Amino acid sequence: MKSHSQFICQQCGYKSPSFLGKCPSCDSWNSLVETVEKEAGSSWTKGNKRERLAGVSSLRLESVATKKVSRISSGIKEFDQVLGGGIVPGSLILLAGDPGIGKSTLTFQILSQVGGLYVSGEESAEQVKMRAERLKIDTKKIYILAETNVESIIEESNTLSHPRPDRGSNNVDSRFRGNDDTIKLLIVDSIQTLWSEELTGTPGAIGQVRESTLKLLEFAKKEHLPVILIGHVTKEGTIAGPKTLEHIVDTVLYLEGERFQSLRLLRTSKNRFGPVDEVGVFSMTEAGMKEVANPSELFLGENKNASGSVVIATLEGTRPLLVEVQALTVATQIPVPRRVGTGISNNRLQMLIAIIQKHLRLPLGNFDVFVNIASGIKVFNVFE
């Protein structure tokens, strides 16, 4: 089995036979890492070509038999709404967000309702249990596995989803005695920590992340077991790892919010089984994520009828929201006045100021302009 070494950009996946200081594709510096890849031996290329082609034939789409699939409720209304009505069996979901934003907390709360396996690649089982106790989460339906090898994870998940009788007896595996519920969901935290035996690269390398995701995709479709992958984001706000990761999965979710504020927004940027641009609103509390029944109350400031404040309506997905826009102008002490927008597009703010100066003839050239959306929400279509 032949193997070769390539330098792969950790930002965009560009491949080069030799080291380059700057990636020609995405212009990132020092992002090319040497990775040893096997030319053969992958689960996607094993077997004789004639054997792989046996039984492969096309079908008329109208003759394909379909069945109605019932979605799995996560027990969290906001999460189900973002997915389009619940979790689809066999789907692969990618949940991304900044560190400490609440990704693990949200998935823990879902597991306590649905029941499933939580794979921790960054923490030990004891650390995970301490976090669950701090959040006062019911752990009766949750299994924990501290493992980073994707083959071992799939084997254990298969065992838990299909418990086998003990040898020489009619009793079910000891882990299931007194409990007829098998796992209905697999959580992997995080995808960047997994590695496969079929590649020699280190965990987190682009080849390892891609291969691990493909193996989990194959397992999810075969066993009809939904899988949620937790992913890190880069400083630019994009998902770490190869861009193909977002193309492989069925759904991409982003958990957003300011770290020192309680507001959390769950957005979908891709969903093969439902609408996109849906938004779920949560509030981070000591007891975990709490659904916000009336988000508009959270987005409105405390000062009523204050100078420089106005309440407007915007549309996030299919949900209308009321948000408060706060504006302040002050005489500048510098030659070039500042235009600062928090929660809105700075380019849109610059254009609006130019329109005001041109048509309303307001002399804003000597004033700094600050615009803020209350509660830290990012609503870029407010002034569209």
Distance CA 363, CA 357 (A): 6
Q: What is the pLDDT of residues 195-208, one digit of tens each?
A: 998 877 778 777 78
What is d(CA 338, CA 367) in angstroms, rounded to the nearest whole number?
8
Between residues 41 and 337, the one the model is more confident about: 337
Q: Residue 171: its pLDDT value, please?
A: 47
Average pLDDT over the chain reads 83
Contact 112, 137 (CB under 8 A): yes
- Comparing 50 with 78, the larger pLDDT belongs to 78
Q: What is the pLDDT of residue 104?
A: 92
What is the arithmetic mean of pLDDT over 224-245? Answer: 78
Distance CA 82, CA 264 (A): 13
Whether 380 shows a pLDDT value over 70: the answer reads no
User: Is the pLDDT at 54 greater than 70, yes or no?
Assistant: no
More confident residue, 222 or 165: 222
CA 300 to chain centre: 27
Query: Strands 309-316, 339-342: parallel, antiparallel or unpaired by DSSP?
Result: unpaired
pLDDT at 164 over 70: no
pLDDT at 65: 80
Q: Span 226-230, mean pLDDT?
A: 96
Instruction: List for the chain the helix, strand, coil content (%; round to 5).
Output: 25, 30, 45
- Cα Rg of the chain, angstroms: 25
Higher-scoring residue by pLDDT: 34, 209: 209
Which DSSP symbol is given to 348? H
| Domain parsing of the chain, residue ranges | 1-41, 70-165+179-293, 298-376
Pick the CATH number of 70-165+179-293 from 3.20.20.70, 3.50.50.60, 1.10.8.640, 3.40.50.300: 3.40.50.300
pLDDT classification of 263: cutoffs 50, 70, 90: confident
Q: What is the pLDDT of residue 169?
A: 44
Which one has a higher pLDDT value, 161 or 127? 127
Full-model pTM: 0.78
Residues above pLDDT 70, as percent of the chain: 83
Architecture (CATH level 2) of domain 298-376: 2-Layer Sandwich (3.30)
The fraction of the chain above a pLDDT of 90, given in percent, is 39
Backbone angles phi, psi at 206, to 5 degrees: -60, -40
What's residue 220's pLDDT?
95
